[in-house]
Amino acid sequence: MAAPDALQQPMELDLFEGPFDLLLTLVLRDEVDLLELPLLEVVTAALGERARERWDTETAGELIVLLAAMAELKARLMLGEPIDEEPDPDTLEARERLAARLIAYAPFPRAGAWLAERARASAGPRYRRVPLAGAAPPPTPRESPAPLRDAMRALLAAPPAPSLSHLTNRRVSVPEAVARLQGALARARSVSFDALTAGADRLEEAVTLMATLELARRGDVTLSQAEPFGDIAIVGRRR
């Protein structure tokens, strides 16, 4: 049989809301018509969406056996087959466990009914609920305030300013690169891009390329590249 926790899990179906074992009881007592009970809903509710987290393998296996039994019973009911009257020992044990649970819990609804009756019988009297003006004095501190002050002081101290040394603020401007390129072209008719950017870092190289393209757009230079990723020859146009 399934472990008690699995049997007691709450079920929320259209037809029924309550613990799983109560549903089983009601099915057994024909108070819930098995033919009207959507088994898929029962299976989904019993195993749940997170069955793997909720139940260990043994419990899940037992739940599945129980659900399979319900499915078989329903199938037989629908086919009109006679049902075997001989209960097996597992069923008897489950029934006895269920009975024990029902009997153990029975006092509490009764005690609840007693409380309800008690509340009805004593509903009349009203109490004065006006709080006294002037609250009770705060409790005298039992501990020295010094540790509290020290703790607070640590929180109030300004944290050291974070180091910004790893950040750089370098600016490379395209107009400057254009000017530099024009300077180079004034000295020589053709300039090699590789030579122009020898020793430059990636950012400078990129900006130099943009400057080159800018001059080509203006029509001041023509560019030629023999092969992909090869050197670019920048040739100034004579005016």
Partner 1 sequence: MTELARRLEALLFLSPEPLPLVALCELAEEPPGPVQRGLAELAERHGPEGGLEVAEVAGGYALRTRADLAEVCDRLRERPPEDRITPAGLETLAVVAYLEPVSRPEISRLRGVAADSTVVSLVERGLLEEAGRPAEGGAMRYRTTRLFQERFNLRGPGDLPPLERFELSGPEAQRVRTRLVEAGHLGDGAGGDGG
In the complex, least distance from residue 49 CB atom to partner 1, rounded to whole angstroms = 16
Nearest CA to 238 out of 213, 223, 220, 224 is that of 220
Taking CB under 8 A as the criterion, the residue among 37, 42, 46, 70 binding partner 1 is 70
Could you write out the DSSP letters of every residue in 162-203?
A: PP-TT-------HHHHHHHHHHHHHH-SEEEHHHHTTT--HH
User: Residue 191 phi/psi, 5° resolution?
Assistant: -125, 140
- Residue 229, by phi and psi: left (phi above 0), alpha (psi -120 to 50) or beta? left
Q: Which residue has the tokens 């087959």?
A: 81
Q: Which residue has the tokens 């079920």?
A: 11
Tell me the window of 83-91, 173-181, 212-220, 223-231 that interacts with partner 1 (CB under 8 A): 83-91
Within 95-134, the residues that bind partner 1 by CB under 8 A are 95-96, 98-99, 101-103, 105-116, 118-119, 121-132
Is residue 54 a contact point for partner 1 (CB under 8 A)? no
| Under 8 Å between Cβ of 36 and 62 | no
Tell me the window of 62-70, 205-213, 215-223, 228-236 that interacts with partner 1 (CB under 8 A): 62-70
Rounded CA separation 20/140 (Å)? 54
Within 131-160, the residues that bind partner 1 by CB under 8 A are 131-132
Rounded CA separation 109/91 (Å)? 27
In the complex, least distance from residue 13 CB atom to partner 1, rounded to whole angstroms = 13
In the complex, least distance from residue 162 CB atom to partner 1, rounded to whole angstroms = 39
Nearest residue (CB) to partner 1, 116 versus 174? 116
Rounded CA separation 156/153 (Å)? 5
Is residue 22 a contact point for partner 1 (CB under 8 A)? yes
Taking CB under 8 A as the criterion, the residue among 24, 46, 60, 63 binding partner 1 is 24
SS3 221: strand
Tell me the window of 26-34, 134-142, 161-169, 201-209 that interacts with partner 1 (CB under 8 A): 26-34
The contact set with partner 1 (CB under 8 A) reads 1, 4-5, 8, 10, 18-19, 21-22, 24-25, 27-30, 65-66, 68-70, 72-73, 83-91, 94-96, 98-99, 101-103, 105-116, 118-119, 121-132
